[in-house]
A and B are shown apart, each in its own frame.
Chain A
Amino acid sequence: MTTNGRDAVWDLAQAERTALSWRRTALAFVILALALVRLVAGVGVPAASVLAVLCAAGVGGLLMLTLRRYRRTTERLHRSEPLPSGRLPLLFTLATVLLGMLALGWVILV
């Protein structure tokens, strides 16, 4: 385990690629949320404003969590400790499903 951990420190690009992957995914949330807000704005501006605020808060929060995860990942690699667990993957999955439900609502109702 120790040798593995030490190897991984020399291969910090791994952690960096993973962090970029998280960020790319969060950006995909931003794009989809923006598109949905823009579409909803065509129906009603107040509803779109509420949606925009909620999406900004949610996606902003997720983005902050990805930054924290990267920091923790590199710290723990240096200390040869176990990596962060599956809570953020769960949150991201929930966010994807939530955006999917919003999209479904828009497709069916409007």
Chain B
Amino acid sequence: MGRQRRRWPRRVYGVGEEPDPRFSLANERTFLAWLRTAMALTAGGVGLDVLAPQKTSYLVLAVGLVLTGMAMSVFGLSRWMAAERALRTGSPLPALSAGALLVGVTLLFGLFIVVVLVTNR
């Protein structure tokens, strides 16, 4: 059980019992999907900045997208931990909470991009 003791993070592996490994694997894939979404936002921000480096509206959008991407990756990890904990203790999975906020912010950025493209400012 030495391996068990060294498992990180303690906050997750210190509670409950081993869940069905398939659930853990699915949880892992969900975490990775959040990371990839975060990368897409980051790439989108850089791409916008390449399109029009001189325009302030594009700069604001680019910075916002990259920051949202960074927040999303950290959120993905914390959600992975919360879900793994819930799997181990047999409690319901955590609500989307901050994730809903992040998705909302991303949608707002999409709207903003459309406005910026149409008005060409």
A residues at B contact (CB < 8 Å): 1, 4-5, 7-8, 11, 14-15, 17-18, 21-22, 24-25, 28-29, 31-32, 35-36, 39, 73, 77, 81-83, 85-87, 89-90, 92-93, 96-97, 99-101, 103-104, 106-108, 110
* Nearest-neighbor residue (CB-CB) of B70 within chain A: A100
25 contacts between A and B (CB under 8 A): A4-B20, A7-B20, A8-B20, A22-B28, A32-B42, A73-B25, A82-B7, A83-B21, A85-B6, A85-B7, A86-B81, A89-B77, A89-B80, A90-B8, A93-B76, A96-B42, A97-B70, A97-B73, A100-B42, A100-B67, A100-B69, A103-B45, A103-B66, A104-B66, A107-B66
**Residue numbers in B under 8 Å from A99 (CB-CB):** 39, 42
Q: Mark B46-78, 1 if CB is under 8 A from A, else 0.
A: 100110010000010011001101100110110
Q: What is the size category of the interface that chain B forms with chain A?
A: 35 or more
> Across the interface, do B70 and A106 meet the contact criterion of CB distance under 8 Å?
no
Q: Which of A39, A85, A106 has the most CB of B within 10 A?
A: A85
